[in-house]
């Protein structure tokens, strides 16, 4: 523990020497003056733990010295001496924040030593109480800092918190370069040093970049800084660096020349704010990285979903070409026949009517193609499963007929709508239908049925194909796992992710049937 430093101020030489002798013998470090002005000059540059001062002195009284000491060294303990002890004097001493009062002449040496120790203890107790009171609101600051997940907003919050909790109008947040240590002023309130609004500190201002530990600016320890601050009207200043998990910054707080100087508790408060700020900045940076990662995943999933949709559409090319070419050929023939000059008018009208019918059929087919290719809405809404299924089966009709695959659907009349995204459910149904088509190269039966449960709808696809080998079944929903030649291995993965994102399930059902059975479960939507 450091030896307490005592400053004695009394205009009587004998009292000064007596006090100096008694306190030195008790283990204190002592400096003594009979001139109050010299004592105040001493207080400007030297740290003092206890001021022992006489109340009545010519030119400058003891209370004026106490006020000066409190302004320049707010944490100093004060003990006043007087030979005229009255109640009024004691009350005045209490109002001035004095920590103790002792009457002259001293009856014995122990009385002065005990009074000095009591004054130091009382001052320490007051500082501890003030410390606790000052630190209590910082818990709310922690909550406010951690609630902000945008790194670019935190410097503003940090500077505002510094002004609020240190009761100052001047504060700043400097960003330190990790390459050369140069400082860039990001946010400021009031007067700062350097005085520019933003930019790197240069010349004399570069001394700021050398601050690597918390400091309280004073004339004795930091004369260069103090001179600069005096020029801009700042009487007291604090600096605390932030160095945590790659975060390099510097916090500044300043009070005007007419305000009380910062105390040690203020430096502790700023240090705690800096540590809270470092954790909050790290937290916000992690949130920002997480948001970016989540967005990348969303973009990747969207691209994967669209890629698989296009792959499935490519497998429909033959069927779509058939669906488009047939009506086009019919329209062509009807228009050719209708153009004959010897054709009767009723027959010409009949051919035009047939051409119109085929064009409408062609328009319907193209619209279905566009509905499948077009990206669907992201927000789930009520989807009619029967309508969606019929849409998919109409796209697959030509391919099913070509392989002699019969499709049997069994859907209850009261089948409720589900809460989903129509284009996504359509893609799942198309993937399951294509898988059934690939599994039955020599033809067969595809049974599709649905049933209502309490809060969901189940729709099942059962084919007569070759089935899925038992060793492949545990991995069928994993990406790039395919049992088909030329398969992407993404169809079931994408379908599984779509249904899971909609709050449903896609499962491979094991039964006694020789083919494969997939069951889709989706939550009921609407009222």
pLDDT at 218: 63
SS3 readout for 198-254:
CCECCHHHHHHHHCCCCEECCCCCCHHHHHHHHHCCEEEEEEEEEEECCEEEEEEEE
Q: Is residue 46 part of a domain?
A: yes
Question: What does the alpha-carbon distance between residue 158 and residue 170 come to, in Å, rounded to a whole number?
Answer: 13
Band of residue 430 on the pLDDT scale cut at 50, 70, 90: confident
User: Interhelix angle for 264-315 vs 138-147, to 10°?
Assistant: 20
More confident residue, 129 or 450: 450
* Exposure of 353 in the CB half-sphere (CA atoms within 13 A): 6
pLDDT, average across residues 368-390 = 71
Statement to judge: residues 53 and 124 lie in one domain: yes
Statement to judge: residues 127 and 261 lie in one domain: no
Residue 461: pLDDT over 90 = yes
DSSP at 524: B
pLDDT, average across residues 153-172 = 89
Closest CA to 23 of 3, 43, 1: 3
Q: Is residue 310 part of a domain?
A: no
pLDDT at 308: 62
Q: What is the dihedral of CA 61, 66, 72, 73, to 10 degrees?
A: 150
Q: Is residue 308 part of a domain?
A: no
Question: What does the alpha-carbon distance between residue 253 and residue 2 come to, in Å, rounded to a whole number?
Answer: 28
Residue 71: pLDDT over 50 = yes
Domain harbouring 342, CATH code? 1.10.287.130
Q: Is residue 124 part of a domain?
A: yes
Statement to judge: residues 431 and 524 lie in one domain: yes
Q: Per residue in 143-152, is it b (16+ CB within 10 Å) or e — as a string?
A: eebeebbebe
Last residue of a domain, one of 88, 114, 134: 134
- Do the Cβ atoms of 422 and 388 come closer than 8 Å? yes
Statement to judge: residues 147 and 278 lie in one domain: yes
SS3 readout for 372-424:
HHCCCCCCCEEECHHHHHHHHHHHHHHHHHHCCEEEEEECCCCCCCEEECHHH
Total count of domains within the chain: 4
pTM (2 d.p.): 0.42
Q: Is residue 302 part of a domain?
A: no
Q: Is residue 299 part of a domain?
A: no
Instruction: Provide the token pair at 217.
Output: 């600016």
Last residue of a domain, one of 374, 389, 421: 374
- Do the Cβ atoms of 432 and 463 come closer than 8 Å? no
Last residue of a domain, one of 374, 401, 418: 374
Q: Is residue 294 part of a domain?
A: no
- Helix, strand or coil, per DSSP, at residue 51: strand
Strand order in the sheet with 247-256: 183-189, 170-176, 247-256, 234-244, 215-216
pLDDT at 204: 44
Statement to judge: residues 394 and 275 lie in one domain: no
Statement to judge: residues 128 and 268 lie in one domain: no
- Do the Cβ atoms of 483 and 516 come closer than 8 Å? no
Statement to judge: residues 271 and 160 lie in one domain: yes
Question: What does the alpha-carbon distance between residue 58 and residue 36 come to, in Å, rounded to a whole number?
Answer: 9
Domain harbouring 234, CATH code? 3.30.450.40
pLDDT at 8: 93
% of residues, the chain, pLDDT over 70: 81
- Do the Cβ atoms of 488 and 311 come closer than 8 Å? yes
Domain range holding 224? 138-287
Residue 202: pLDDT over 50 = no
For 27-36, 195-204, 492-501, which range has the lowest pLDDT when averaged over its residues?
195-204
Question: 51-62, pLDDT tens digit by residue?
Answer: 999 988 888 888
Statement to judge: residues 175 and 253 lie in one domain: yes
Phi–psi pair at 463, nearest 5 degrees = -110, 170
Q: Which residue has the tokens 């800096």?
A: 274
Statement to judge: residues 520 and 415 lie in one domain: yes
Domain harbouring 485, CATH code? 3.30.565.10
| Residues ≥6 apart with Cβ < 8 Å to 7 | 30, 31, 32, 33, 39, 42, 43, 48, 50, 51, 52
Q: Is residue 88 part of a domain?
A: yes
Question: What does the alpha-carbon distance between residue 226 and residue 403 come to, in Å, rounded to a whole number?
Answer: 92
- Helix, strand or coil, per DSSP, at residue 169: coil
Question: 317-352, pLDDT tens digit by residue?
Answer: 555 565 576 677 777 777 877 787 788 888 888 878
Question: What does the alpha-carbon distance between residue 280 and residue 144 come to, in Å, rounded to a whole number?
Answer: 9
Q: What is the mean pLDDT of the chain?
A: 80
Band of residue 462 on the pLDDT scale cut at 50, 70, 90: very high
Most confident of 361-365, 472-476, 523-527: 472-476
pLDDT at 38: 92
Statement to judge: residues 176 and 129 lie in one domain: no
- Do the Cβ atoms of 212 and 249 come closer than 8 Å? no
Band of residue 488 on the pLDDT scale cut at 50, 70, 90: very low
Residue 17: pLDDT over 70 = yes
Statement to judge: residues 359 and 278 lie in one domain: no
Residue 519: pLDDT over 90 = yes
Statement to judge: residues 352 and 394 lie in one domain: no
């Amino acid at each position: 523990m450091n030896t307490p430093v005592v400053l004695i101020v009394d205009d009587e030489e004998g009292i000064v020497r007596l006090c100096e002798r008694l306190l030195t013998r008790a283990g204190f470090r002592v400096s003594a003056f009979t001139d109050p002005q010299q004592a105040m000059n001493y207080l400007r540059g030297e740290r003092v733990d206890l001021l022992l001062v006489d109340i009545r002195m010519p030119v400058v009284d003891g209370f004026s010295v106490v006020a000066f000491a409190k302004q320049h060294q707010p944490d100093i303990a004060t003990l006043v001496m007087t030979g005229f002890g009255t109640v009024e004097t004691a009350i005045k001493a209490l109002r001035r924040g004095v920590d103790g009062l002792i009457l002259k002449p001293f009856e014995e040496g122990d009385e002065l030593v005990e009074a000095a120790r009591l004054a130091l203890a009382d001052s320490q107790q007051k500082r501890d109480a003030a410390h606790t009171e000052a630190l209590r609101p910082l818990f709310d600051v922690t909550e406010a800092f951690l609630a902000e997940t945008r790194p670019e907003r935190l410097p503003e919050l940090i500077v505002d918190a510094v002004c609020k909790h240190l009761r100052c109008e001047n504060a700043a947040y400097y960003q330190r370069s990790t390459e050369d240590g140069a400082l860039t002023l990001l946010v400021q309130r009031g007067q700062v040093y350097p005085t520019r609004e933003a930019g790197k500190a240069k010349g004399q201002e570069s001394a700021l970049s050398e601050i690597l530990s918390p400091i309280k600016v004073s004339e004795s320890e930091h004369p260069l800084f103090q001179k600069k601050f005096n020029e801009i009207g700042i009487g007291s200043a604090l600096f605390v660096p932030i160095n945590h998990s790659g975060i390099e910054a510097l916090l500044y707080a300043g009070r005007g020349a007419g305000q009380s100087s910062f105390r040690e508790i203020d430096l502790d408060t700023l240090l705690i704010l800096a540590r809270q700020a470092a954790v909050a900045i790290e937290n916000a940076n992690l949130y920002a990285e997480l948001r970016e990662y989540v967005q990348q995943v969303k973009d990747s999933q969207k691209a994967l979903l669209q890629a698989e949709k296009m792959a499935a559409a490519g497998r429909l090319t033959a069927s779509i070409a058939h669906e488009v070419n047939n009506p086009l050929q019919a329209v062509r023939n009807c228009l050719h026949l209708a153009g004959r000059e010897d054709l009767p008018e009723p027959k010409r009208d009949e051919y035009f009517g047939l051409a119109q019918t085929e064009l409408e059929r062609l328009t319907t087919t193209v619209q279905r193609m566009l509905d499948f290719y077009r990206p669907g809405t992201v927000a789930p809404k009520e989807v009619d499963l029967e309508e969606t299924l019929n849409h998919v089966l109409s796209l697959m009709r030509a391919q099913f007929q070509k392989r002699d695959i019969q499709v049997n659907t069994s859907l209850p009349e009261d089948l409720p709508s589900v809460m989903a995204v129509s284009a996504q459910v359509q893609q799942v149904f198309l993937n399951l239908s294509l898988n059934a088509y690939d599994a039955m190269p020599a033809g067969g039966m595809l049974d599709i049925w649905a049933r209502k449960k309490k809060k969901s709808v189940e729709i099942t696809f059962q084919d007569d194909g070759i089935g899925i080998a038992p060793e492949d079944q545990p991995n069928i929903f994993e990406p790039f796992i395919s049992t088909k030649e030329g398969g992407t291995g993404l169809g079931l993965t994408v379908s599984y992710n779509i249904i899971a994102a909609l709050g449903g399930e896609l499962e491979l059902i094991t039964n006694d049937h020789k083919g494969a059975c997939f069951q889709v479960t989706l939550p009921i939507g609407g009222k």
